Amino acid sequence: MNLIIWGLVCIFLDVNLPIGPVTIDIIPDFLGFILIAVGMQAYASQSENYRKMRPFVWGAAAVSAAVYIANMFGVIPLNTLQAVIITVILMVLYLITTYYIYRGIRELEQKQVRVLGAENLRRIWIVMAAAEALTLVCYYLPVLILLQMIVSFAANVAFLVQIIRIKKILEPQTAVPAPKT
């Protein structure tokens, strides 16, 4: 679950360095997708959702890597329709990935017959999706951008915190006995 968490952090932290017409993403999203795909492997035997979604997440990593390279060379001009379309594609890839992270958790919850917090994750995901949809509205009503940023940030943090809580239930830490002296 650690790799899935770190993958989400990589995608969530969108730190860009604009240098003239070129944008360099300091923490590339494709790295996050790769970490998520590898992290899903650990649960693939327990979750059909994770097993099925791994190829999709690898595809998302490939698309994200292509966009990353295109941005580094200034192939995609900022503030153009092309940039908006690519942003929407990446947003949809992120939402589908996070949705299937939730679905995998729900599946683990059902198979293990215990509450992991999948329902909370589902509610948070709905807010995330609404915040991302609000992004599209912000292209036409820029006055809403601050609201969108706040809601998106809060939802992403809540999703990450819930995943960390679930990890603690799924992978409890065993206390290491103190060495005898």
Residue 117 within any structural domain of the chain: yes
Residue 113 within any structural domain of the chain: yes
Residue 179 within any structural domain of the chain: no
Residue 145 within any structural domain of the chain: yes
Burial of 121 (0-12, 13-18, 19+ CB in 10 A): buried
Residue 175 within any structural domain of the chain: no
pLDDT grade for 179, boundaries at 50, 70 and 90? low
Residue 180 within any structural domain of the chain: no
pLDDT grade for 15, boundaries at 50, 70 and 90? confident
Whole domain around residue 100: which residue ranges? 2-170
What pLDDT is stored for residue 73 in this prediction? 80
Q: How far is Cα 153 from Cα 151, in angstroms, rounded to an integer?
A: 6
Residue 176 within any structural domain of the chain: no
What pLDDT is stored for residue 100 in this prediction? 94
The total of structural domains in the chain comes to 1
What pLDDT is stored for residue 14 in this prediction? 80
